[in-house]
Structure 1
Amino acid sequence: MITVDLHTHTRFFHAFSGPTSYDPVGARLLVAFAQWRGLDAVAVTNHDYYSCLDIDTRGVTLIPGVEVSTSAGHMLVIGPDPPTRTTPGALTPEETIDIAHARDCAAIVAHPFRNSVVRDLDLPFDAYEVNGKRSVPIDQIQQLSEADDTPLIGGSDAHYPFEVGRAYTRVDTEKSTPKAVAEAIRNGRTDYRLNESFPLQLLRQLYQRVHRLKGHVDA
């Protein structure tokens, strides 16, 4: 059994398309906080691009990934060979799943109730995400999972490194390789966990208010 944060970013803001020269710096910070929180691995899932990062990971495995801006909302593609670049809004969720599975990756619905209608589609998603920003009550996500028997995973959605590990996943595999992690997700061998420390609870409440003010949260 290993612990993995399956949704992280190397940069603070969405405004710049990547890769950027800051990405290796952000990745090192992600690794440092992952190590501090006792995680075995982190998936780096920048928006619509993946780049190989040659850094000292201090024993923490970096899982390749990309957060795809599909035509219906965001999806995570995680595994050994994610696409290096996707065009926002160009891929449908179905196409994203096909690409993920063709590349031995897992296809996950990111923050299913935030600025997304992907959850309404009858497609073979590998998992729904319990997002660290938690814009909706946890039981709402659990009901979604139970309705179509789709597993749950946890990801912090960290844009700031200190957010790493506020939601993470226990993955039933002995290896922390990208292929082993993706295979375990596809087979439902996952269990999400939440870090409910007081500072992170306050941060989550702040995100909830911001997302609701922006109209990004669906009932």
Structure 2
Amino acid sequence: MYGIHDLTLFIVSGLLLNIMPGPDSLLIMARSATQGWRAGCAAALGIGAGTMVHVTAAAVGISALLATSAAAFSVVKWVGAAYIIYMGVGMLRARLKPEAEPGDRPSAPHTSAEFGAADRGSVPGLKPQAYGRIFAQGFLTNVLNPKVALFFLAFVPQFISADSSNKAAAFFILGCIFNVNGMLWCNGLALFTAFASARLKVKPLVALWLNRVTGGLFLALGARLALSEQH
């Protein structure tokens, strides 16, 4: 259909590429380990939404601008690097919630507007984040990475025949298949990480340092993106 070929090879290659660690996987694991599977899945859905932006942009030719324009690539690269570093700094600055002193009045429960419903997998002592905010983090981490756009432009056309009747439609279909596979992996990773954390009974201090280590890795990834060149 539409000149798509070697679909099985595309699916297998896509799964292997999705398994490779990166900022997306780190974000999902950090959120799942500290706030439960719902938070991890919120990050995964944000990442999937960001991927669809790249798929759609590539299908209509907008992403080709990043491949041909050094200025456009640099703008997206620096904005993306700045956001990833910003997230890393936020994780490094994470703190445990102070425990209530004896005799203190219990504080009012946090509303869903503030944090979202607290997941049962949340680590006590760590302040949960709203699922909407976690979704936005996943979305921006993915959509502001110009390397993702260039990846789609380089990888997907290999599975579309040169004489395809509608290359844009073929590109979009393959991109959706890639994203579905990615969502299966990302949500599976969220569930596995949350389950493992619950089984291991991660203590607040351990979760805090996991957050900080992930923050440090985000700083390194942001710096790496900032120093990357257009290819």
- TM-score range with shorter-chain normalisation? under 0.3
TM value normalised by structure 2: 0.25
TM-score (norm 1): 0.26
Greater relative contact order (Cα < 8 A, sep 6+): 2
Comparing both structures, which one devotes a greater share of its residues to strand? 1
